[in-house]
Structure 1
Amino acid sequence: MRNSTAKNSVIVTTLLSALFFCFILVLGSLSPLADSGPNVNTFGSTGLWLSLSMILFLYLLPLAFYMLGMHFLKFVMAAFCSIGFLIAASTLLLMPALFLFGLEDFSGNLSSIIGIMISCLGLLITNIVWLLLRLKDRQPPCRKAFKMVKMLRHLSPFCLKTNKLER
C-alpha cells in the first residue's frame, strides 16, 4: 500500500508541476512580455501551442513510462523537475525587477505580473514537494551497508556455533 501511495503522490505532483509550467507560459504570453521581442510567444500563436505541447510531452512521456514500471525514469523526471525549479526561481526573481526597473509597458500591468509570480511560486512549491517525495523513499547507501553488517554480525556467531558442532 505504501508503494502505491508514494507512486500516486509522485504522479499527482508531476501533473501539478506540468500544469503550473503551462500556466507560466500562457500568462507570460498574455503579459507585456509578449511584446518585448520578435521571437516571443504571443497568446494563441503557433509558437505558444508548440511550447505547451513540448512541455507536456517532456512531462508526460517519462511519467507514462514510470507508471508502467520503468522506475529508473524517476532520475529523468528529477532532472526535468530541477530544470523547472531553476526556471521558476529565475522568473520569480526577474518579474519584480522588470516591474520596478524595467520596461515602461509593465507600469499598468501589475495583475499579469502577479499572476506569473503566483504560478512560479506554485511551480517552486510543487517541485520542492516532488523532490522531497522522491528522495524520501530512498535509503542512503551507508544505511544499507550498515544493515548488511549488522545482519552479518548476527549470523557470524550462529555460523561459528554450527562449525564447532560439526567438528
Structure 2
Amino acid sequence: MTFVSAFLFCSLLVMGSLSPLASSGPNANEFNSLGMWAAIACVLAVYLLPLFIFVKGLSAMRYVMAVLCGLGIVTIISIILGVLVLGSFSNNFSAFLGVIALSLATLIANVMWLVVAFRPSPKLEVKN
C-alpha cells in the first residue's frame, strides 16, 4: 500500500504540473522542470525512508508512517478543496478533473493504508 500511495502522490505532482495549476504562480512546478523532479524526489524520500527502516525491523516505524499518512490525508484534502475553489472561480473546472480524480484515488489509498497497517492480525484457529 505504501508503494501505491507513493505512486499516486507522485502522479498527482505530475498531473498538477500538466494542469493549469502549473501557471498559477511563480513557485508552481511546470512539467519536466527541476522543481517537479525535486518535489517527486522529496515525496519518494518521505515515503521510502520510513518504509526501509520498517522493513529492516523497527516495527515502531509503523506509527511514524501513520503520522505521515495522516499528514498526507490532510494535504490531499487541502489540494481537493483548493482545486475545487480554483476551478469554480476560473470557469475552467474541467481542466482540473484529472487532479481531482488522482487526489481522490490518493486519498482512498492513504485511508486503505491506515486500515491495512492497523487491522487486527488474524487469529489462528486450533483444531482438535
TM-score normalised by length of structure 1: 0.68
Partner of 1:5: none
Provide the identity percentage: 38
- 1:92-107 maps to which residues of 2 (within 5 A)? 92-101=80-89, 103=90, 107=92
- Supply the distance in 1 between the matched residues of 2:27 and 2:107 (Cα, whole angstroms): 26
1:125 corresponds, among 93, 108, 112, to 108
Unpaired segments of 5 or more residues in structure 2? 122-128
Q: CA deviation at 1:99?
A: 1.4
Instruction: Give how far 1:89 is off.
Output: 1.1
Counterpart of 2:55 in structure 1: which amino acid? M
- Cα distance in 2 for partners of 1:39, 1:124 equals 24
1:98-130 CA distance string (max 9 Å, x none): 1112x3xx62x61x4111111111111111111
- Tell me which residue corresponds to 1:75: 63
| Equivalent position to 2:29, from 41, 52, 71 | 41
4+ residue segments displaced more than 2 Å: none
Larger Rg, first or second structure (1 or 2)? 1
Correspondence for 2:99: 116
The amino acid of 1:118's aligned partner reads A
Q: Which amino acid aligns with 1:119?
A: L
SS of the counterpart of 1:27?
helix
> Going by fraction, where is helix more abundant, 1 or 2?
1
- Provide the aligned C-alpha RMSD in A: 1.5
AA aligned opposite 1:36: S
CA distance in 2, matches of 1:54, 1:95: 22
Letter in structure 1 aligned against 2:106: L
1:31-57 C-alpha deviation (Å, 9 max, x unpaired): 111111111111111111110001001
Tell me the amino acid that sits aligned with residue 47 of structure 1.
G
Equivalent residue, structure 2, for 1:52 = 40
Between the two proteins, the alignment pairs up a number of residues equal to 121
Deviation at 1:135, TM superposition (A): 2.2
Q: 1 CA distance for matches of 2:64 and 2:8?
A: 19
Higher relative contact order (CA 8 A, sep 6+): 2
**Unaligned segments of structure 1, at least 5 residues:** 1-12, 139-167
C-alpha distance in structure 2 between counterparts of 1:36 and 1:94, whole Å: 12
